Amino acid sequence: MIRHIVAWNFREEFSEEENKKHAEEIKRELENLKNLIDGIVSINVLTNPMFSSDADILLDSVFTDEKAYKAYQTHPEHVRVGNDVVRPRTCNRRCLDFYISD
């Protein structure tokens, strides 16, 4: 299996209230991808970081294998969520992908 973790910050031009709404939308849209894309074992979006955190929002997802992960990367729904929901609201993307055992 493959674990895919991504962390972002919200863009500075948004208010705290706007970021709360953005976080809810990003969480809803990303977590729904499990219903739309085969090979996703789990997908969780964390939106309530502690004061000591360097990131505002985190995606933690697991895929059955590398083939499923590659299919996810180019799947039209994932591309739509990335282009229309996540990227316009975030910056400073950091990613870590790694193999995990069952």
What is the predicted pLDDT for the residue at 101? Answer: 81
Interatomic CA distance for residues 60 and 58, integer angstroms: 6
Per-residue pLDDT reduced to its tens digit, 62-93: 999 999 999 999 999 999 999 999 999 999 99
Residue 19 has pLDDT above 90, yes or no: yes
User: What confidence category does residue 102 fall into, taking pLDDT thresholds of 50, 70 and 90?
Assistant: low
Per-residue pLDDT reduced to its tens digit, 40-61: 999 999 999 999 999 999 999 9
Q: Is 64 helix (H, G, I), strand (E, B) or coil?
A: coil
Would you say the C-alpha torsion 49, 12, 20, 36 has a positive or negative sign?
A: negative
